[in-house]
Structure 1
Amino acid sequence: MPATVQRRLPTDAEARALEISPERTVIQITHVGMTAEGRAVEVTVTVAPAHYLTAQYEFPLA
């Protein structure tokens, strides 16, 4: 399952923890690790200030 990427305003708790203004946007990346059988075994949610990240995408052309 591919990761989902969202840009949004931080919660008050996130703004405090990340030491950013509540008006600054954050990026939330949610990844679900799956077994070969399709069972979810891990969920990772990463939240970071948007101005600290660079997104890189690869699109295989096959």
Structure 2
Amino acid sequence: MLLLFWCLFFCLLFLWLFFCFLFSVFCFCFFFFVFCFCFFFLLLLFFFVFFFLFLCPFGIFF
């Protein structure tokens, strides 16, 4: 009976740690993709602002 209890306890502990690990990996991937998307969006915005402010008055755009 005690052996069964310890087996169940370690199985639940292993499952709990496994789900915590999966959740942490998911959070890391989610925040990494959000950071990459924000960085790419800000870079694109900076490029368009630079392009329209500095190159259009000199007639390069036309």
When the two structures are superposed, what TM-score results if normalisation uses the length of structure 2? 0.18
User: Which structure would you say has the larger RCO, counting Cα contacts within 8 Å and 6 or more residues apart?
Assistant: 1
Structure showing greater radius of gyration is 2
Which structure is higher in strand share?
1
